[in-house]
A and B are shown apart, each in its own frame.
Chain A
Amino acid sequence: MTGHWITLLTFLPLVGALTVAWGGPRSGAARRRVALLVHALVAMSAMGLAVAFDTSATGMQFVERLSWVPGLGVEYHVGVDGLGMVSVLIAALIPLLAAVVSDRVAAGREGVYYPLLLLLQFGLLGTFTALNFFHWFLFWELGLVPAYLLVRLFGGKGAGPASFQFFVYTMVGSVALLLAFLALRAAGGSFDFLELAGADRGGALGRALAQRLPWGGPDAGNVLGWLVFGGVLLGFAVKVPLWPFHTWLPDTYTAAPSPVTMVLTGAMSKMGVYGLLRIAWPIFPEHFAAAQGVLVPLALATVILPTFTAFVQRDLKRVLAYSSINHLGYCLLAVFVVGTPGSEAGTAAALNGVVLQMLNHALTAATLFGFVEVLERRTGGVRDLEAFGGLRRAAPVFCGLMGISVFASVGLPGLNGFVSEFLIFRGIFAAAPWAAAVASLGLLTTAVFLLKVMQRLFHGELSVAWVGFPDLTMRERVWTGAAVAGMLVLGVYPDLVLQWTNPLVLRLAGGN
């Protein structure tokens, strides 16, 4: 298919950001309206793309390919497949949801806040559609700067150190990525993701590196190969994050204003999973298989340990932050485990599950942080679990809808989380039953702390401080209702997403 649809979609938020910052509107309300309009346009365009997406094709669609710097192998190459389509939808919808609830946080500084949010979306869309390392990396870094500034400028207590840690941590990952790709370029002669796929097969990467970069002894190629693999992995693992590189996340998610946290957890964390699936997993099949002994235990730690840590947190946002680590840990575990030859059906289930889990987690986690924003509006920023009780009496609709979202997070069948977690576990079990058995502990401990949250917030006698706690307003009912409806739809009819991902997964699992 021809046309510059992806470019238009990607650059729409940039235009919007410039307009809101320096263009027409002067008043805060008008800037907010324009920003919301742009976000809505992006969301509609992305949905249009999804409708036009050909579910029978396995390759890239809406491809645009222009020569840029031929001598360096730099091209402008974009396109989406099932993975890209899901990611683009995440990048289009989550910032919209965040913008809707941003009025309190942005108040008085709309001219800074909304352009930054739009820029962040610009970076996300570019990252999820780029197929050449060069501009992919530009977008990857571009997303980082507005995110840093949103946390730094609009965050609450501890935003300074947290945003610094966030920036440095992800920057370290980026540097590792950049170096690794320069080496890959040196070895494979290409920056193109599709061409690089399988570069590692049969030890080819190590040989090529040894040939091109004759710095050490005879094993230098292998050592370099591991370094390159490690660099790429680190770049993505920090972003997801993988235990023990996760400590930036609870601090950042907590310090960031809740709408920004919605984007951080809903969309930005998916950059890591996306990178693993699009870039690392196809390029380094052999290194993944060889590193399993280390990676699988780390992924298991990512799944299980945060569920314990979450239990002792008092700040609702920290609890949800640790819950996020746990949920994306399932993605990491699946990617790491299915590197081994298991059953093909198992691999297909696991990879479909990972992509579906990206969307499900985006929806559920963003909605839950949105509920935190709803709560903070009414309490003046109080999020201490010990300070609440009996909210069901004062705000039954709020508690009902948030309760459904929490159960989606627990993995209740009928809601979205169950299908993806079932598929992931099914895939893991096929390749490594013991890992599935260990990880299933996480299913239990997740329920432990999430039910504790509900007990602390909703149940018991209504404390005197919150007697006048207002229930959801009409606008809040609309967006939370839509989100919850989305959870139900995805839980009952997952084919909606799997129709995009399954052809791609078949191609990946088949190894071409």
Chain B
Amino acid sequence: MHAIATHIWLIPLLPLLAAGVVALLPKRASTAAIGLATGSMGLALVLSLAAFLATLGGHADGAAHATHIGNFDWFRLGTGSVRLGFLLDPLGAVMLVMVSFVGLLIFIFSIGYMAHDPNRTRFFCFLALFASAMLGVVVANSLLLLFACWEVMGVASYLLIGFWYHKPSAAVAAKKAFLVTRIGDIGLFLGMLWMYHATGTLLFFDDGRGCLEADALTQLGGTAVRGGLTAATGIALLLLVGAIGKSGQVPLHVWLPDAMEGPTPVSALIHAATMVAAGVFLVARVFPLMTGGVDTPVGEGTSVALQAVAGVGALTAVFAACLAVAQQDIKRILAYSTVSQLGYMFLGLGTGGVAVGMFHLITHAFFKALLFLGAGSVIHGCHEQQDIRWMGGLRRLMPVTYATYAVGMMALAGVPLFFSGFWSKDEILHAAWSWAPSRWPFVLGVVGAFLTAFYMTRQMAEVFFGQYRGGVRPHVGHGIPEATHGGTAGGVHESPGVMTVPLVLLAGSTLVLGWLGTPAWPWFEAYLNGHSAHLDFGRLAAAWPMMLVSVVVVALGIGTGWWVYGRRSRVGATAPDPLESQFPRIFRGLQARLYVDELYDATVVRLHHVVSMVCGWMDELVLGGLVTLVGLGSRLAAFSARSLDELLVNLGFDAGCASTRWGGRGFSWLQNGSAQRYLGGLGLGLATLAILVLWGWRHG
């Protein structure tokens, strides 16, 4: 076993330590903070690469599963203990490399992007905390540890979305993101409880006793609960709810576009490349459970849970792509595109298995980070302008950004051969085509592919082609500027090297990665499954019809997009969108996100407010009123007691000094303040009752 496999916990720990130290640094120590955070990320990348190599070595040994685990006791509980653990397997290793590589590039990009922000010390603290949590999710060998990192990641995302906390919209978006994903987290939490209760362990792998290993899966698959479902299906569906929340799938997708309120590197890192992919990763991690606890060969998964995964994914892929068509904000278009692509990953997992979904996750992480950082560069160059109607013609003004953005766009759209997105999306469509339960996911996937090519062409045409339209209003209000500028005031400028170099590196990766998962040489799938890959062009022959379909769809999408937007470029920023003039109602409906947010506001949010008001009212009036009533009752009783006293006292003595004095004393005693009077009454009552009970016992 490699040394790295036993020290895999170092990878999340390093950024965590960096975050802890940076948190204690004063604001002015921004250089130290940047150095620490970026340095820890660099080290994490080195270790991740070592871990990746170690899993490659596992194949050479001929081991079927190159999985290394290290478990330990967290705390004692009952007769046993609660255990946590770390693991290194191909699935985790490939995620580690992706997260730390993309993460490092985004850290570096942020050095330039946040150079003038007064709070950048804190920014890098949050970034490091986030990276640590994400890496923790990847190496966790325990659902509990995974959940813990998952939640910390949610908080880091909350902090980063709301980084410009003085913007009310950012504060609201941060809260919304946290709460909507928490709805999913409750599902994950309940699934975890069920798993713990049913199997007695939360470790994934534990030498045969883990909850993802054969014994536990057979037991879960054989335990029937209501409605003909097995415990395995129930748990899998609950975990899926968590994945839906984190990955912004329908119906919990509403938080992700709003999360674009954060600084652009955050959007790139968290809301495109890594965190949102955590949901997909979770499904991949617990895939043996998703197949229903029965060991079905990959590709034939038709369990209820996998059908749900595929259904949610297909629906989301098309739904979000529709919304992306009508957005004007460059980051929101990308945000909906992310939601849509995550849908494809779910579709891939549901219909084709781990390798299909994960391949798209990896390729997407690179090209979406590229697109977001490119968007950041555009926004930076256009003086914080995010509305694509006010851009245009940037091709000549920002050549590096343009070239790299074009690579990302073609990958996302699925342009054949040289772009990674083509290969990964093609695999998904292929898997959806041969999926037994239904053809609908395939149809939706094809429609989504068309829309993706269309809206990305629209974006390219609006941003980079035609004439620059932003000169009239250089500073359109988007709240507080993301950073202040020096130099080319008024004009658009290319971004500095610290920002363009990450773009070039990401573009390079986008061009290379696709070749790892072609039908002729499916290295990625073989690697995840622990086999070695063989080059076989014969498999291309079987795959080419599907590739042809996908090429035609993409060509149609790009062609339509160009026909609508590229042929005649937009005249002025205020001119209506060509689609809007043709189909005003549909366009505006899509622009308004099909009113899903409004629907939630009118139902769930409204319900919460009403119930809260009723609860508050109940506490104040009904229960509080009851208590007051009881209080009044006891006062009444006290009053009658006093009257009785007076009467007795007056009867017992003549109307003389003595009577007056005694009566007065009684009076003052009773009016001495409510608590004392009550105490006196209580004491008397207690004594009486005590005597009664004791008397009863003695004579019983």
Tell me whether A440 and B179 are in contact (CB under 8 A): no
* Candidate in B196, B623, B694 with the most chain A CB atoms within 10 angstroms: B196
A40 at interface (Cβ–Cβ under 8 A)?
no
CB-contact partner of B179 in A212, A247, A392, A451, under 8 A = A451
Please count the residue pairs between chain A and chain B whose beta carbons lie under 8 angstroms apart in the complex: 183
Contact B686 A178 (CB under 8 A): yes
Instruction: Name the A residues within 8 Å of B489 (CB-CB).
Output: none
Say yes or no: A413 contacts B78, CB within 8 Å: no
* Proximity string of chain A (428-460) to chain B, C-beta cutoff 8 Å, 1 when within and 0 when not: 011001001100110111011001100100111
Contact stretch, chosen from A126-134, A163-171, A263-271: A163-171
Partner of A349, one of B78, B182, B608: B78
Assuming the A-B contacts A182-B690, A412-B151, are A459 and B171 also in contact, with contact meaning beta carbons closer than 8 angstroms in the complex? yes
Contact among B178, B183, B612, B634 for A311, CB-based, below 8 A = B612
Chain B 2-41: CB-based contact to A (< 8 A → 1; otherwise 0) = 0000000000000000000001000100000000000000
Among A61-69, A115-123, A281-289, A498-506, the stretch that binds chain B is A498-506
Contacts of B612 in A (CB 8 A): 308-309, 311-312
Interface centre among A163, A352, A441 (most CB of B within 10 A): A352
B166 contacts across to A, CB distance below 8 A:
390, 393, 459-462
Q: Mark B680-700, 1 if CB is under 8 A from A, else 0.
A: 001001100110011011001
Which residue of chain B has its CB nearest to the CB of A400?
B23
Are A426 and B197 closer than 8 Å at their CB atoms?
yes
Residue of B nearest to A185 (CB): B697
Any A CB within 8 A of the CB of B471: no
Known interface pairs A312-B612, A426-B197; A418-B178 also in contact (CB < 8 Å): no
Q: How far is the CB of B647 from chain A (nearest CB, A)?
A: 27
CB-based nearest A residue for B186: A440
A502 close to B76 (CB less than 8 A): yes
List residues of A whose CB falls within 8 A of some B CB: 148, 152, 163-165, 167-169, 171, 175, 178-179, 182-183, 185-186, 211-215, 244, 246-248, 250, 305-306, 308-309, 311-313, 343-346, 348-349, 352, 390, 392-393, 396, 400, 407, 412-414, 418-419, 422-423, 425-426, 429-430, 433, 436-437, 440-441, 443-445, 447-448, 451-452, 455, 458-462, 493-495, 498-499, 502, 505-506, 509
Instruction: Specify the chain B residue showing the minimal Cβ separation from A347.
Output: B78
Contacts of A461 in B (CB 8 A): 166, 168
Which of B76, B194, B674, B679 contacts A429, CB < 8 Å? B194
Give Cα distance in the complex from A311 to B608, angstroms.
9
Q: Which residues from A are CB-within-8-Å of B627?
A: 165, 169, 247-248
Cα distance, A107 to B698, chains bound together (Å): 54
Q: How distant is A290 from chain B, measured CB to nearest CB, in Å? A: 24
Q: Is chain A's interface secondary structure helix, strand, loop, or mixed overall?
A: helix
Whether the pair B77, A215 counts as a contact (CB closer than 8 A) is no
Contact partner of B178 (CB less than 8 A), chosen from A248, A422, A441, A447, is: A447
9 other A-B residue contacts (CB within 8 Å) besides A175-B686, A498-B75: A167-B675, A182-B690, A418-B148, A426-B197, A436-B193, A444-B179, A447-B178, A502-B78, A505-B78
Residue among A178, A418, A459 with max Cβ neighbours from chain B (10 Å): A459
Q: A212-B700, A407-B155, A414-B148 are in contact. Are A348 and B693 (CB under 8 A)?
A: no
10 nearest interchain CB pairs?
A348-B78, A413-B148, A459-B171, A186-B697, A495-B75, A308-B615, A429-B193, A311-B612, A309-B615, A308-B612
**Residues of the B chain whose Cβ atoms lie less than 8 Å from the Cβ of A451:** 175, 178-179
Q: Would you list 22 pairs from A and B whose C-beta atoms are within 8 A, ordered by A residue? A: A164-B674, A167-B678, A179-B689, A186-B700, A213-B700, A214-B700, A247-B623, A247-B627, A305-B615, A309-B612, A309-B615, A311-B612, A345-B80, A352-B77, A412-B151, A414-B148, A425-B193, A429-B193, A440-B186, A458-B165, A459-B162, A506-B79
The reply to whether B155 and A444 contact each other, CB–CB distance below 8 Å, is no
Q: Which residues of B contact A437 (CB under 8 A)?
A: 190
CA A321 – CA B170 in complex, angstroms?
28
The CA of A505 and the CA of B678, in the complex, are separated in Å by: 40
**B147 an interface residue at 8 Å Cβ cutoff?**
yes
Asked if B624 is an interface residue, CB under 8 A from chain A, the answer is: yes
Within 8 A of A (CB), among B144-172: 144, 147-149, 151-152, 155, 162, 165-166, 168, 170-172
Question: A509 to chain B: which residues have CB within 8 Å?
Answer: 78
B509-528 interface code vs A (CB 8 A; 1 in, 0 out): 00000000000000000000
Q: Is B496 an interface residue (CB 8 A)?
A: no
A412 and B674: CB pair below 8 A? no
Check A423 against B696 for contact (C-beta < 8 Å): no
Q: Is B491 an interface residue (CB 8 A)?
A: no
Give the interface of B toward A (CB within 8 A): 23, 27, 74-80, 144, 147-149, 151-152, 155, 162, 165-166, 168, 170-172, 175, 178-179, 182-183, 186, 189-190, 193-194, 196-197, 200, 608-609, 611-616, 618-619, 623-624, 627, 631, 634, 674-675, 678-679, 682, 685-686, 689-690, 693-694, 696-697, 700
- Of chain A, the residue at the smallest CB distance from B178 is A451
- Closest residue of chain B to A509 (Cβ to Cβ) is B78
Partner of B186, one of A313, A426, A443: A443
Known contacts A168-B631, A348-B77, A437-B190; is-contact A430 B165 (Cβ 8 Å): no
* Complex Cα–Cα for A121 and B262 (A): 48
Cα–Cα, bound, A445→B182 (Å): 10
**B76:A430 contact, CB within 8 angstroms:** no
Note all chain A residues with C-beta closer than 8 A to B151: 412-413, 418
Please state if B78 and A344 are interface contacts (CB–CB under 8 Å): yes
Known contacts: A444-B183, A451-B178, A461-B166. The answer to whether A175 contacts B77 by CB under 8 A is: no
A308–B608 touching, CB < 8 Å: yes
Measured CA separation A498–B77 after assembly (Å): 8
Distance from B19 Cβ to chain A, minimum over Cβ atoms (Å): 12
Q: How far is the CB of A454 from chain B (nearest CB, A)?
A: 8
Q: What are the residues of chain A within 8 A of B190 when measuring CB–CB?
A: 429, 436-437, 440
A311 to chain B: closest residue by CB: B612
Q: Is the CB of A164 within 8 A of B675?
A: yes
Q: Pick from A148, A179, A306, A447: contact of B693, CB below 8 A.
A: A179
For A248, list chain B residues within 8 Å (CB). Answer: 627
Q: How far is the CB of A433 from chain B (nearest CB, A)?
A: 7
CB-defined contacts of B183 to chain A, threshold 8 Å: 444
Instruction: Give bound CA distance, A267 to B150, whole Å.
Output: 33
Min C-beta distance of B653 to chain A, whole Å? 33
Assuming the contacts A168-B678, A390-B166, A437-B190, asked whether A346 and B697 have C-beta atoms less than 8 A apart, the reply is no
Q: Name the residue on B nearest A419 (C-beta).
A: B75
Contact assessment for B615 and A413 in the assembled complex, using a CB-CB cutoff below 8 Å: no
CB distance from B386 to the nearest CB of A (A): 21
Beyond A165-B627, A179-B689, A498-B77, is A414–B152 a contact (Cβ under 8 Å)?
Answer: yes
C-alpha gap A186/B611 in the complex (Å):
47
Contact between A186 and B615 (Cβ–Cβ < 8 Å)?
no
A164 to B631, CA, bound (A): 10
Chain A: which residue is nearest B238 at the CB level?
A437
CA distance A447 to B694 in the complex (A): 51
**Assembled-state Cα–Cα distance A167/B681 (Å):** 14
Measured between beta carbons, the chain B residues less than 8 angstroms from A414 are 148, 152
Contact B189 A182 (CB under 8 A): no
In the bound complex, what is the Cα–Cα distance between A476 and B76 (angstroms)?
35
Among A211, A250, A447, A459, the residue within 8 A (CB) of B619 is: A250
**A448 and B608 in contact, given A460-B166, A462-B166 (Cβ under 8 angstroms):** yes
Of A163, A412, A452, which contacts B152 at CB under 8 A?
A412
Q: What's the nearest-Cβ distance from chain B to residue A243, in Å?
A: 9
Could you tell me if B616 and A309 are in contact, using CB atoms closer than 8 angstroms? yes
**For residue A497, which residue of chain B has the nearest CB?**
B75
Q: In the complex the two chains form, is A444's CB within 8 Å of B678's CB?
A: no
* Cβ–Cβ contact B197 & A443, under 8 A: no
Nearest A-chain residue to B690, judged by Cβ: A182
**Whole-angstrom distance between the Cβ of B161 and the nearest chain A Cβ:** 11
Cβ 8 A contact of A433, one of B147, B149, B194, B694? B194
